[in-house]
Structure 1
Amino acid sequence: MRSDGKDEGKALTKAVAEGTAGVEGEAGGAGAAEAGGAAAAGEAVSGAGGAGEGAGEAVSGAGGAGEGAGEAVSGAGAPPVDAEREAKLKAAAEARAARAAAKAAEEAQAAEAPEEPKPPSPKQPQLDQAAALIRALVADDAVEEAYVNELNSDMPTLVIKNERWLQTAELMKSPKGLQCNYLRNLSGVDYETHLEVVYHFVSLETKLEYAVKVRTDREAPSVASVTPLWATANWNEREVYDLLGVTFHNHPDLRRIMMSDEWVGHPLRKDYEPLDSEV
């Protein structure tokens, strides 16, 4: 009776142990199964992420296609080229280039070619005749210089020696001389080395014109007055006296005409220094 009880206890203990081990094995199998499932789930999630990346690349590709479409739209918005206008601009540029080339060639040719002598002035015979007449009837040294002034319409110009000026003026007005019965203008010039009085004459009979220059020293400038011959010289000589200080001896009324009588100096002289800085 006691032996049977002991055996039953051992059997019961073994059964319990085996049951417990089976339970633990089932639990371990369940845990492993859960771990495997989690790993599989992770892989699935990773695969899903890869699919998301693929979708992103697809979206990026779609964006690239959108940019291409935008460029196509931008190109489509550019204004069309005006072929006729382009042709005119090209023709104008070619014409300018051709003119520039022709001008350069002409200048080069002119530089290489020897300069041709200028033809004599048509007024040269008039000048030569007047100079010869003065030398013959006044004095051989009366004419210091004779030339045609090209800058003044080829004006016949005579430079008369100061000491011979009054005799020359009488001859110029004389009917037997140059018949210059009209004094158009009288003026003065300061050349710093000397002063000059310039006369412009016209013959109302012959319609010929002459310019006459008379030089004088700057330190004591003096020229014979021609007011007794041409009354219009009166105020002109007074003006030259006033502004340049040239004395015209035998003038009937030589005094200042623009500046006051007490004015110091002559304003048109190049070395003039005003006493009043505000003037």
Structure 2
Amino acid sequence: MSEQQTAAEVAEPQEPIVIQQLKEKFSDHILAFIDQRSELSVIVSKDASFEILEFLKASSNPSYDFLVDVTAIDYSQMEDVLVEYDYARFMVIYHLNSFMTNERLRVKVPVNEKELTIKSTVALWKSADWLEREVYDMFGINFDGHPDLRRILMPDDFEGFPLRKDYPLRGRGEREKFNFGRENV
């Protein structure tokens, strides 16, 4: 500790710049910040999620110019999480990376089961195309404005969404019916 630093300055960790920027610009839409094991997450409202992601890509310091992944979590069996986020059953999660600083950031967006739609980010990152299709296919979450939202992993006639918590662990008989398109398999 130098003579010019006070004990309070040393003891109090500096808040990341991107958090300061998000608080300043989107304070009404930030639900929470989580810094766990030096991995930063921000939980934002669905209404402003596209604008926040757009800001993080183009205007924040550092800019998070690479979309690593889009995924979702079904919190239907976790009452404490449901209560905390106004009973939003799903959380869509964007994993971002800054090429400039190699910093990662997770942006989490609560999505209510009754309104299973969130704005597509394909206009920001072309790589979101198949990632959003996978989330749609596995969880049934729609991405408004997606150029080609259809199943990507499951057959077109498949009913249900296999990564939802209410989907049966052993399936609904599709394993017994599956034959690779051939009769005697």
Normalised by the size of structure 2, how large is the TM-score? Answer: 0.75
Give the paired residue count. 154
CA distance in 2, matches of 1:210, 1:176: 12
Counterpart check, 1:215 vs 2:105 = no
Relative to structure 1, the CA distance from residue 265 to residue 217 in structure 2 (aligned partners, 3 Å threshold; closer, same or farther) is same
* Partner of residue 181, structure 2: none
**Higher helix fraction (1 or 2):** 1
Relative to structure 1, the CA distance from residue 238 to residue 121 in structure 2 (aligned partners, 3 Å threshold; closer, same or farther) is farther
Q: Write the deviation string for residues 236-273 of structure 1: whole angstroms up to 9, x where unpaired.
A: 11000000011111111110001111111100101014
- Match of 2:108, SS state, is strand
* Partner of residue 36, structure 2: 149
Counterpart check, 1:239 vs 2:131 = no
Counterpart check, 1:162 vs 2:56 = no
Measure how far apart 1:142 and its partner are: 1.4
Measure how far apart 1:132 and its partner are: 2.8
CA distance in 1, matches of 2:57, 2:69: 15
* Partner of residue 67, structure 2: 183
Measure how far apart 1:232 and its partner are: 1.1
**Identity, % of aligned pairs?**
29
Asked if the contact 1:202/1:210 (under 8 Å) is kept, the reply is: yes
Q: Write the deviation string for residues 70-118 of structure 1: whole angstroms up to 9, x where unpaired.
A: xxxxxxxxxxxxxxxxxxxxxxxxxxxxxxxxxxxxxxxxxxxxxxxxx
* Partner of residue 257, structure 1: 152
* Structure 1 letter corresponding to 2:173: D
Residue from 156, 167, 173 that aligns with 1:276: 173
CA distance in 1, matches of 2:133, 2:46: 18
* Partner of residue 200, structure 1: 95
Measure how far apart 1:221 and its partner are: 1.5
Relative to structure 1, the CA distance from residue 231 to residue 121 in structure 2 (aligned partners, 3 Å threshold; closer, same or farther) is farther
Measure how far apart 1:177 and its partner are: 5.0
Residue from 22, 27, 50 that aligns with 1:140: 27
Q: Write the deviation string for residues 33-78 of structure 1: whole angstroms up to 9, x where unpaired.
A: xxxxxxxxxxxxxxxxxxxxxxxxxxxxxxxxxxxxxxxxxxxxxx
**RCO (CA 8 Å, sep 6+): is it higher in 1 or 2?**
2
CA distance in 2, matches of 1:230, 1:142: 22
Normalised by the size of structure 1, how large is the TM-score? Answer: 0.51
- RMSD (Å) for aligned C-alpha atoms: 2.2
Asked if the contact 2:18/2:60 (under 8 Å) is kept, the reply is: no
**Higher strand fraction (1 or 2):** 2
CA distance in 2, matches of 1:162, 1:219: 13
State the structure with more CA Rg: 1
Measure how far apart 1:130 and its partner are: 2.0
Unaligned runs of 5+ in 1: 1-118
Alignment of 1:1-279 (within 5 A): 125-126=15-16, 129-137=17-25, 139-150=26-37, 154-192=38-76, 193=82, 194-273=89-168, 274-276=171-173, 278=175
Measure how far apart 1:176 and its partner are: 5.0
Measure how far apart 1:149 and its partner are: 1.7
Asked if the contact 2:62/2:100 (under 8 Å) is kept, the reply is: no
Unaligned runs of 5+ in 2: 1-9, 77-81, 83-88, 177-185
